[in-house]
C-alpha cells in the first residue's frame, strides 16, 4: 500500500516490503559486489520484508541528540535474516553479516538545494569514486531515471527537504555503496525509496532504485 502521510524520513517505524515490480533489477548489483551466484539467485527470487525502528539517543561525549535507524530484514524463503543499525552522525560504524561480509559505513541526514528547474533536491558530497560522477549524483538526487531521462524524483516534504545519505565500503572487496533515501510518487502513490550506486574496486558502477510498500499492521 502507499505510505501513510504520518510516516516520514525522520519516522520510518513499521513494516515494509520490497515492491519487486517497481524495484530495479538487483542481481547485477549483487554480482558487482562479489556475492556468490547461489546467494544472488536466492535473493533475486526472495520477497524482502523490513521492520524499521527509528529512535533517539544522546551522544555521550557531547550530549547532543542522535537519531538511530535499525533495520531487521527477513524473507519469506529460506534465507536467514540480517540486522543493520545506523547512527546518523556521519561517524564510521562497522557492520558484518553473511551476505555482504564486513562493511564500514556512515549515515547522515541531508537537506535540500534548489536545482536549475526550481526543484528542491537532496544536497550532499558524493563519496563514490567514478568517472561519471555527475551522472551518478543526478540519479541519486532523483533528477534522472536509470536511462538518464529526467523526472520529478523525490518529494520535498519539509521546507528545505530532508533525506538520509549513507555510504558503505566493503573491507575485503573494496566495493562501495552510496544511497539516498526518501519518498517518491510512483503511479500516483507515495513510496519509500532508496536510490543506490554501487562501485567495485575497478571503478565499474551500477545504479538501482529500491521501492518499498508499507505493510498495514494486522
Give the CA count within 13 Å in the CB-facing half-sphere of 214: 19
Q: Is residue 61 part of a domain?
A: yes
CATH number at residue 80: 2.40.128.20
pLDDT band at 11 (very low <50, low <70, confident <90, very high): very high
H or E, element range at 31: helix 27-32
- Give per-residue pLDDT as tens, 22-60: 999 999 999 999 999 999 999 888 889 999 999 999 988
Domain housing 174:
14-215
Q: Is residue 39 part of a domain?
A: yes
User: Can you list the alpha helix ranges (DSSP code H) found in 121-181?
Assistant: 133-140
Contact 51, 72 (CB under 8 A): yes
Residue 125, all three cell numbers: 558530497
Q: Is residue 109 part of a domain?
A: yes
Q: Is residue 5 part of a domain?
A: no
Burial 128-145 (b: 16+ CB within 10 A, else e): bebeeeebbbbbbbbbbe
Distance CA 180, CA 194 (A): 6
78 pLDDT above the threshold of 80: no
Q: What is the pTM of this model?
A: 0.94
How many domains are contained in the chain?
1
CA 80 to chain CA centroid, Å, is 20
Distance CA 207, CA 7 (A): 26
- Give per-residue pLDDT as tens, 127-146: 999 999 999 999 999 999 88
Q: Is residue 98 part of a domain?
A: yes
Q: Is residue 152 part of a domain?
A: yes
Q: Is residue 141 part of a domain?
A: yes
- Give per-residue pLDDT as tens, 157-167: 888 899 999 99
Amino acid at each position: 500500500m502507499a505510505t501513510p502521510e504520518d510516516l516520514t524520513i525522520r519516522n520510518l517505524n513499521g513494516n515494509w516490503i520490497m515492491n519487486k515490480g517497481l524495484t530495479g533489477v538487483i542481481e547485477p548489483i549483487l554480482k558487482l559486489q562479489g556475492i556468490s551466484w547461489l546467494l544472488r539467485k536466492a535473493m533475486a527470487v526472495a520477497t524482502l520484508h523490513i521492520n524499521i525502528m527509528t529512535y533517539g539517543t544522546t551522544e555521550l561525549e557531547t550530549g547532543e541528540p542522535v537519531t538511530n535507524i535499525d533495520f531487521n530484514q527477513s524473507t519469506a524463503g529460506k534465507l536467514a535474516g540480517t540486522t543493520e543499525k545506523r547512527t546518523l552522525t556521519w561517524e564510521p560504524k562497522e557492520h558484518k553479516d553473511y551476505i555482504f561480509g564486513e562493511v564500514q559505513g556512515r549515515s547522515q541526514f541531508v537537506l535540500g538545494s534548489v536545482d536549475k528547474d526550481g526543484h528542491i533536491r537532496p544536497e550532499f558530497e558524493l563519496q563514490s569514486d567514478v568517472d561519471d560522477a555527475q551522472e551518478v549524483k543526478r540519479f541519486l538526487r532523483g533528477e534522472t531515471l536509470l536511462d538518464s531521462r529526467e523526472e520529478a524524483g523525490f518529494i520535498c516534504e519539509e521546507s528545505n527537504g530532508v533525506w538520509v545519505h549513507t555510504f558503505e565500503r566493503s573491507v575485503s572487496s573494496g566495493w562501495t555503496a552510496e544511497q539516498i533515501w526518501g519518498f517518491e510518487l510512483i503511479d500516483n502513490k507515495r513510496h519509500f525509496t532508496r536510490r543506490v550506486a554501487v562501485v567495485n574496486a575497478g571503478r565499474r558502477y551500477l545504479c538501482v532504485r529500491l521501492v518499498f510498500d508499507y505493510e498495514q499492521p494486522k
